[in-house]
Chains A and B, each alone.
Chain A
Amino acid sequence: MTRKDSSLSRRHVLAGAAAGAAVGSLGLPAILGAQPAAIKVGILHPVTGPLSYSGTQARAGAQMAIEEINAAGGIKSMGGARLEALLADAQSRPDVGAAEVEKLNEAGAAAIVGPFASGIALATTQAAARHGIPHIVDVGVVDQVVTRGLANTFRFGPGLKTIVDTAIGNLIKINEGAGKPARTVMIVHEESAFGSGMATTLNAELPKHGFEIVETIKHANPTRDFSNIVLRVQARKPDLLIPSNYYDEYVLFARALQQQRVAPKAIYSILGGGASSYKFLKEFPQAASYVMDCNHWFDPRKAQALALKEKTEKRNLFFTYEVFLNYSCVYLLADALERAGNARRDAITAALAASTLDRHVMPYGPTRFVNGQNTGAQPVTTQILDRDIKVIFPLAFASGNVVYPIPERLG
């Protein structure tokens, strides 16, 4: 944990102190005395280390939500109590994440939002459970995060099984809709929990639906030269290519594919590190063209989502899923606080468990937690079309029509 986040500058404090003294001298101390105590919220992410980009984005999303909630008058049922962010850095390590939870506990955090990565989430939720701190997990897709019976853990986004099931379901619909042009699949994945878990699941599930997996290639993190892997893709000529890796590797792989003119019928990723990324789109529009991805995404039909996108971009940040998921998680917490009417941890936990929030920026139904998992959460399938990221599935949220098989992408 680092420091309290506050928009108050020294000048504001001095001005406030002077105003307070003036009000006091006028005999109106009751106004100041009525100001409710701020509610401390632990904002815990890996803002240093290998996951620092995602952690920084996630922190920004949470902070924007806190600013908005405070500007709108704080938590009304608690007399307008402000949310106060206690910023914490897990340094991309589970053990540091767990130690930060202890610090947040002692600093009086009413709840914790974070910590992006599954491995860190396993450690932080457990540490938080020891103190009964409600812990809203933003991403942390590995299913074990919510299957250990921890009553304090609430995952807002979908879990890995839901994501993979949805991705495969959407892929089948896309393929069948085009007359089943694709049969063979090649998977290229990174070596850690995320990529390996995905590859194992896909190897088990895709053959059940008539796809033949011709090869699965694992690569190290970091990998900077994908030319040999692309040569193997060229040799295998798969109909579908499924990359599963973090941002840098995803982008480098996509660029290498484009440079060597590898033309599968589709590049379809699941939680692709770069696929649903405005950064990738802006920097390498050709390599990004027509890439499909099943991922966390905002609801493009909601005005609140578009306003958040604009606000994020004004801060020179890319509108990534870390931003809007954490933004929504803070709103989820604020809603629970409104209903709880106090900042006691057990009351917040009970309010979260009974949450039916639909005022978020995601394409979800109202939140409904079953064993800590938001069953209303779902991923969507996106495709990069006309230099924009469009939702193509589910159709209820779609903002574009799928292009499949994809045309040749010229380098």
Chain B
Amino acid sequence: MNARLVMAAGLAAALAVPYLVRSDFWLGFLITVLLFAVMGMAWNILGGYAGQFSFGHAAFFGTGAYAAAVLHIGFGLNPWLGLAVAALAGGLVALVIGYLSFRYGLRGSYFALITLAFAEVLRILANWAEFTGGGVGLYVPLKVGIANLQFSGKTGYYYVALGFAVLSLAVGWALEHSRLGAQLMAIRENEDAAQALGVDTFACKLKAIALSGALTGIGGGFYTHYYLYIDPGIAYGPGVSVEILLVPIIGGLGTVFGPLLGSAVLHGAGELARRLMGDAPGLNLIFYGVLLIVMVRFMPEGLMGLVWRLRHRWRRVADA
């Protein structure tokens, strides 16, 4: 009951943010946090719950981004519908990659490498193909209007991102409490043992990667309509993959709120570094890197692990 109250209060606070935060910069910051929380949760489904570490989520992000852009620019598809198509496209690409990888029993670092390779192949294809605009990329026409998923201020984008973040949390929560979630966790702990117990590991992993790809695809579609520009480097570059996987690793693998917390801390630390390090170019990135190393070294279970440890300690103190 308490947890539900806290969640309801959190949601109410999140809904009130645009009325309390008047700064467009900070609203923009929160939109980025929410966007990466969604994609972090997507990665978490596959990497956190199922234990299949992907280094190539850019493949799903980029596909969603390009699906939204190509269909809107080339065929006039409504951007809101484009987000649904982005999810489908991301899920479909994930299914193909998952089928090829899992069918041939790729696990661990081999699976990580094959996902990285798929993202790179897609980047090269996007560079080569004409319908993606090649290396030039695609520019979404600027036509402000709710129907076009273009808002004059940040508030509209914030609420859309918040909606997707709530959706991703709901997906995470439902997965954690579902049969599929239990099967994925069994696969994560010991795939051979799970198979011996009758879990269809191939089907379960396929479901996980498809769900993960679909959620990441939504993130890509939103990115396209938020920044109105996409090119192969942004869409399929390794930077996106790394940023997506860092979010749940920092926040806490296999947890519902880990990606949200991870995204907030990851981007907050980046911003803090920029503000502290003055204008010495690149020094903020070094600080940011050191901070990440320290966090991963001393908090291997992520921030959610730290939260649990602190809560446990507080309860013991309260009981004593």
Contacts and interface: CB of A to CB of B under 8 A. Distances in A.
Interface of A: 1-3, 5, 47-48, 52, 55-56, 87, 89, 93-95, 98-99, 102-103, 105-106, 119, 122-123, 126, 130-131, 142, 144, 148-150, 190-197, 200, 218, 220
A95 B227 contact: yes
A95 B32 contact: yes
B305 interface: no
Shortest beta-carbon contacts, A-B, top 4 = A196-B135, A2-B279, A102-B25, A47-B281
B28 A2 contact: no
Contact of A56 (B124, B234, B281): B281
B134 interface: yes
B281 A89 contact: yes
25 contacts: A2-B277, A2-B278, A47-B281, A48-B285, A55-B281, A89-B274, A94-B234, A99-B32, A102-B23, A103-B25, A106-B23, A106-B24, A119-B229, A119-B231, A126-B228, A130-B24, A148-B141, A190-B135, A191-B135, A192-B135, A196-B134, A196-B136, A197-B135, A218-B127, A218-B135
A7 to B, nearest CB: 14
B142 interface: yes
A94 B228 CA distance: 10
B233 interface: yes
A52 B283 CA distance: 13
Given A89-B281, A130-B153, A193 B25 contact: no
A94 B139 CA distance: 12
Given A106-B24, A106-B25, A48 B152 contact: no
Contacts of A122: 139, 228-229
B58 to A, nearest CB: 14
B62 interface: no
B282 interface: yes
Contact of B25 (A2, A105, A144, A150): A105
A123 B227 contact: yes
A47 B281 CA distance: 6
A43 to B, nearest CB: 10
Interface string B179-214: 000000000000000000000000000000000000
Contacts of B285: 48
Contact of A52 (B124, B135, B137, B281): B281
Nearest to A148: B142
Contacts of A148: 141-142
B80 interface: no
Contact of B28 (A89, A99, A190): A99
Given A106-B23, A122-B228, A123-B228, 10 more contacts: A94-B229, A95-B32, A119-B234, A123-B229, A130-B24, A130-B153, A144-B139, A192-B232, A193-B136, A218-B128
Chain A facing B: main interface SS: helix
Contacts, number: 92
A87 B275 CA distance: 12
A194 B127 CA distance: 12
Nearest to B233: A192
A191 B132 CA distance: 13
B118 interface: no
B29 interface: yes
A340 B158 CA distance: 36
A52 B282 contact: yes
A105 B281 CA distance: 21
A218 to B, nearest CB: 7
B24 A98 contact: no
A103 B227 CA distance: 17
A123 B152 CA distance: 14
Contacts of B23: 102, 106
Contacts of A98: 28, 227
A3 B279 contact: yes
Interface in B151-192: 152-153
Contacts of B233: 192
A119 B228 CA distance: 10
Contact of A2 (B32, B152, B274): B274
Nearest to B239: A93
Nearest to A194: B135
Contacts of A190: 135
A102 B24 contact: yes
Q: Which of A2, A130, A148, A150 is the most central at the interface, judged by chain B CB atoms within 10 Å of its CB?
A: A2
A5 B279 contact: yes
Nearest to A147: B139
Contact of A48 (B134, B223, B227, B282): B282
Contacts of A3: 278-279
Nearest to A103: B25
A5 B24 CA distance: 23
Interface in B20-38: 23-25, 28-29, 32
A99 B29 CA distance: 8
Contacts of B134: 196, 200
A87 B227 contact: no
B146 to A, nearest CB: 16
Contacts of B279: 2-3, 5, 87, 89
Contacts of A105: 24-25
A194 B134 CA distance: 11
B229 A192 contact: no
Contacts of B278: 2-3
Nearest to A145: B139
B135 A193 contact: yes
Contacts of A126: 142, 228
Contact of B135 (A149, A150, A195): A195
A49 to B, nearest CB: 9
Interface in B211-254: 223, 227-229, 231-234
A50 B67 CA distance: 27
Contacts of A87: 279
Contacts of B229: 94, 119, 122-123
A253 B128 CA distance: 21
A150 B277 CA distance: 33
A12 to B, nearest CB: 18
Nearest to B274: A2
A48 B281 CA distance: 6
Contacts of B135: 190-197, 218
A207 to B, nearest CB: 18
Contacts of B152: 130
B33 to A, nearest CB: 12
Nearest to B27: A102
Nearest to B35: A95
Q: Give the most central of B128, B233, B278: most A CB within 10 Å.
A: B233
